[in-house]
């Protein structure tokens, strides 16, 4: 069901953990299934020098979180803000259609954490786009 | 270890079915000699099934599976009694074959009561009695639940139904072949079962209909099954179902005893080695093979993926694996908060599982849960 990249990032997630005294933190919940992602940023001169995450969720959510942290590490805040969930999905060699919503957790987590950093530094928060209302595919029943 | 989802066809069963694909292919409705033979084998299969559940052969109707049997029972009884009344009583933890049919009937103007269960998944028979109205025409309560394994007090519910002259249907899909069933002792008027849950073929089921029960047809067409269920008989399927049920009932006492022992060792082992875990369902009144445990702070689909890498198949009530918005309706109905329903793991043992399988799971699960907890933002840390 999942690509090799997804399984790799799921079984060996990169950048797991917490950062003490982070410069920005974002915690987001996925209203579709109730999963949670927390992301911690360490920022120097507008560059994300370190990032860590914790995720409670499915394989796709964990893999997306891991990949997203890889994608934003070393990037400027501006570059990190521009990373979409589609970019995360592409970097993972795709996700099953019913799992694409899980990658939104990563995008929104990054936005939340960056805005948290901006607020701490007396900058106005950037507008966060809410895109979680997309309907996942129809239910598959448990047997 | 996902025997509640489906089971492999036993070799003896496949062997019994084989001739009916090729040399003995006669259409039972034809008049040739080969057709007579087909009719005979259907009738002897019917008798085998009847004996297994304490019914008469002419009360057994072959269907395409548990889903069709459930649909037929609900829609057929509701429609046949529409003049008398329209109210249906069922439970909140039924399989979707019942629940989605009930919801459809509701849209057609049949009010449905979905009775709640307690936190071990048991229905209070008294609540059934209280829910009965003058217009109730059917009570449908499952014998045993597919997710948490809880077994209901079918006999008590059946006799309440009979006291009120209301037909009683039970979805025994998970129970048949695994625990003793008697439509006579348990006052059951309609009963669904499905072959692939007891090492028979998929796409093959039975609806038992007590003589005299008013029920409309679901499928219209040819005159098979005494004009009550149209469609050319699935001859190999019928033989497979009957053979599998016969073997399951013959070996039931011995097998269920062994499986129950494995189950209890698995439950005790998991609860002991994994902190923040709890058993879902009833501690004793549960299917011999059912284990359902919730692990706090982790999500079920990720547990399944890691178990799969260890070669262990399992299932979960997590929303993430259902593809729908919500975690299992059964786990919510027993009062689990979303987070705990998310972290549920169902392992179902069956024919062929061994002590070694239990060891494998007991070795794998604690590490998997620990690994996922280390990633989880909810985990407060190891027990001090
Ligand atoms: C309790 C219950 N009822 C009905 C069904 C449906 O049976 P089938 O798969 O034969 O349609 C199942 C299993 O899928 C079940 O567990
Ligand atoms: S996070 Fe729940 S389905 Fe992926």
Q: Is the pLDDT of residue B154 over 90?
A: yes
Q: Taking all residues of chain A, what is their mean pLDDT, rounded to a whole number? A: 87
For tokens 């022992």, what's the residue?
B261
Please state the atom number of ligand 2 nearest to the C-alpha of residue A59. Answer: 4
Q: Residue A135 pLDDT more than 60?
A: no
How high is the pLDDT of residue A30?
A: 74
Distance (Å) of CA B164 to CA A6, A117, B84: 57, 68, 14
Q: Which of A2-6, A43-47, B2-6, B359-363 has the lowest mean pLDDT?
A: B2-6
CA distance B34 to B28: 8
* Helix%, strand%, coil% for chain A, nearest 5: 40, 20, 40
Q: By the CB < 8 Å criterion, does B366 face chain A?
A: no
Report the C-alpha dihedral over residues A45, A46, A48, A54, rounded to 10 degrees: 120
Res B328 pLDDT > 70:
yes
Instruction: Check pocket membership of B66 for ligand 1, CB cut-off 6 A.
Output: yes
User: Considering the domain boundaries, does residue A137 fall inside one?
Assistant: no
Per-residue model confidence (pLDDT) at position B32:
66
- DSSP 8-class letter at B286: B
Q: Do A16 and B374 touch (CB under 8 A)?
A: yes
Chain A residue numbers with beta carbons less than 8 Å from the beta carbon of B370 are: none
Q: Determine the average pLDDT of the residues in B314-332.
A: 82
Split at pLDDT 50, 70, 90, the class of B92 is very high
pLDDT at residue A133, rounded to an integer: 47
Instruction: Band the pLDDT of A130: cuts 50, 70, 90.
Output: low
Mean pLDDT of B195-217: 97
Q: Is the CB of A115 under 6 A from ligand 2?
A: no
**pLDDT given at position A137:** 42
Q: Give, to the nearest 10 degrees, the angle between helix B235-250 and helix B252-273.
A: 80
Give chain B's radius of gyration (CA, Å): 22
**Residues B319, A33: contact at Cβ < 8 Å?**
yes
Q: Within a 10 A sphere around the Cβ of B253, how many other Cβ atoms?
A: 10
How far apart CA B140 and CA B143 sit, in angstroms, is 10
Cα separation, A99 vs A61, in Å, equals: 8
- Using one digit for the tens of pLDDT, what is the confidence trace for B207-227? 999 999 999 999 999 999 999
Distance A86 CA to ligand 2 centre (A): 16
- Strand order of the β-sheet with A35-44 is A24-30, A35-44, A47-56
Query: Does A143 reside within a domain?
Result: no
User: B159-180 burial string, b = 16+ CB within 10 Å, else e?
Assistant: ebbeeeebbbbbbbbbbbbbbe
pLDDT cut 90: percent of chain B above it: 83
The domains located in chain B, with CATH, are: 11-250 (3.40.640.10), 252-374 (3.90.1150.10)
Taking all residues of chain B, what is their mean pLDDT, rounded to a whole number?
93
DSSP string, B334-370: TT--HHHHHTEEEEE--TT--HHHHHHHHHHHHHHHH
Q: Is the CB of A6 under 6 A from ligand 2?
A: no
Cα of first residue to Cα of last residue in chain B, in angstroms, is 33
Residue B264 gets the label, from left (phi > 0), alpha (psi -120 to 50) or beta, of: alpha
Alpha helices in chain B (DSSP H): 11-17, 33-53, 66-80, 96-107, 125-131, 154-163, 224-227, 235-250, 252-273, 300-309, 319-322, 329-333, 338-342, 355-375
**pLDDT interval class at B112 (50, 70, 90):** very high
Contact with chain A for residue B376, Cβ under 8 A = yes
Nearest to B376 among A56, A137, A139 (CB): A56
Residue B56 has pLDDT above 90, yes or no: yes
pLDDT at B84: 85
Q: Give the model confidence (pLDDT) of B249-300 as tens digits.
A: 999 999 999 999 999 999 999 999 999 999 999 999 999 999 999 999 999 9
What are phi and psi for residue A42, nearest 5 degrees? -120, 120
pLDDT of residue B324: 65
User: CATH no. for residue A69?
Assistant: 3.90.1010.10
pLDDT of B330 over the 80 cut: yes
Mutational pocket test of ligand 2: of A58, A66, A88, the residue with most ligand atoms within 8 Å of the beta carbon? A58
Higher pLDDT, B384 or B144: B144
The stretch B53-82 carries a mean pLDDT of: 97
Q: What is the pLDDT of residue A1?
A: 82
Among A85, A112, A107, A101, which Cα is nearest to A27's? Answer: A112
Assess contact for B277 and B336: CB atoms under 8 A.
no
- Specify if A46 maps to a domain: yes
CB A66 within 8 Å of CB A15: yes
* Total domain count, chain A: 1
Q: How confident is the model at residue B31 (pLDDT cuts 50, 70, 90)?
A: low
* pLDDT confidence of residue B323: 63
B320 is catalytic: yes
Write out pLDDT tens, residues B234-246.
Answer: 999 999 999 999 9
Which pLDDT value is given to residue B294?
A: 96
Please report the ipTM that was assigned to this predicted complex.
Answer: 0.85
Structural domain span for residue A26:
4-120
For the entire predicted model, the pTM comes to 0.90
């Amino acid at each position: 069901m999942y690509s090799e990249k997804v399984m790799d990032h799921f079984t060996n997630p990169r950048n797991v953990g917490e950062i003490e005294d982070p410069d920005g933190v974002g915690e987001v919940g996925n209203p579709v299934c109730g999963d949670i992602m927390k992301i911690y940023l360490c920022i120097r001169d507008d560059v994300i020098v370190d990032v860590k995450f914790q995720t409670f969720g499915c394989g796709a959510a964990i893999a997306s979180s891991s990949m997203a942290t890889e994608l934003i590490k070393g990037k400027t805040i501006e570059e990190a803000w521009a990373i979409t969930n589609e970019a995360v999905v592409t970097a993972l060699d795709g996700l099953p259609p019913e799992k694409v919503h899980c990658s939104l957790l990563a995008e929104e987590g990054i936005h939340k954490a960056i805005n948290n950093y901006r607020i701490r530094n007396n900058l106005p928060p950037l507008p966060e786009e809410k895109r979680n209302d997309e309907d996942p595919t129809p239910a598959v029943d448990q047997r | 270890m996902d025997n509640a989802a489906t089971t492999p066809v036993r070799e003896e069963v496949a062997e019994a079915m084989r001739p009916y694909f090729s040399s003995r292919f006669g259409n039972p409705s034809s008049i040739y000699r080969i057709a007579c033979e087909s009719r005979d084998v259907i009738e002897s299969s019917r008798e085998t099934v009847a004996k297994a559940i304490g019914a008469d052969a002419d009360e057994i109707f072959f269907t395409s599976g548990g889903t069709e049997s459930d649909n037929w029972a609900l829609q057929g009884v509701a429609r046949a009694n529409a003049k008398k009344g329209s109210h249906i009583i069922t439970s909140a933890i039924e399989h979707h074959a019942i629940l989605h049919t009930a919801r459809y009937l509701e849209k057609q103007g049949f009010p449905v009561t979905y009775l709640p269960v307690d936190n071990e998944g048991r229905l209070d028979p008294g609540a059934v009695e209280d829910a009965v109205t003058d217009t109730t025409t059917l009570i449908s309560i499952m014998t045993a639940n597919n997710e948490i394994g809880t077994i209901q007090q079918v006999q008590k519910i059946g006799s309440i139904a009979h006291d009120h002259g209301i037909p009683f249907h039970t979805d025994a899909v998970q129970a048949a072949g695994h625990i003793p069933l008697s439509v006579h002792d348990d006052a059951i008027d309609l009963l669904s079962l499905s072959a692939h849950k007891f090492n028979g073929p998929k796409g093959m089921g039975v609806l038992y209909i007590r003589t005299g029960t008013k029920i409309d047809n679901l499928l219209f067409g040819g005159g098979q099954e005494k004009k009550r269920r149209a469609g050319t008989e699935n001859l190999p399927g019928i033989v497979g179902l009957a053979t599998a049920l016969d073997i399951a009932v013959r070996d039931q006492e011995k097998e269920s005893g062994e499986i129950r022992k494995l189950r209890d060792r698995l439950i005790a082992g998991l609860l002991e080695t994994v902190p923040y875990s709890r058993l879902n369902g009833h501690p004793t009144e549960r299917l011999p093979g059912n284990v359902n445990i919730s692990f706090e702070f982790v999500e079920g689909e990720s547990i399944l993926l890691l178990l799969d890498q260890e070669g262990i198949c399992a299932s979960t009530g997590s929303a993430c694996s259902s593809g729908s918005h919500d975690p299992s309706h059964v786990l919510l109905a027993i009062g689990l908060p979303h987070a705990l329903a998310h972290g549920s793991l169902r392992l179902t043992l069956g024919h062929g599982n061994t002590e070694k399988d239990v060891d494998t799971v007991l070795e794998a699960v604690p590490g998997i849960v620990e690994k996922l907890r280390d990633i989880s933002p909810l985990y407060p840390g190891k027990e001090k």
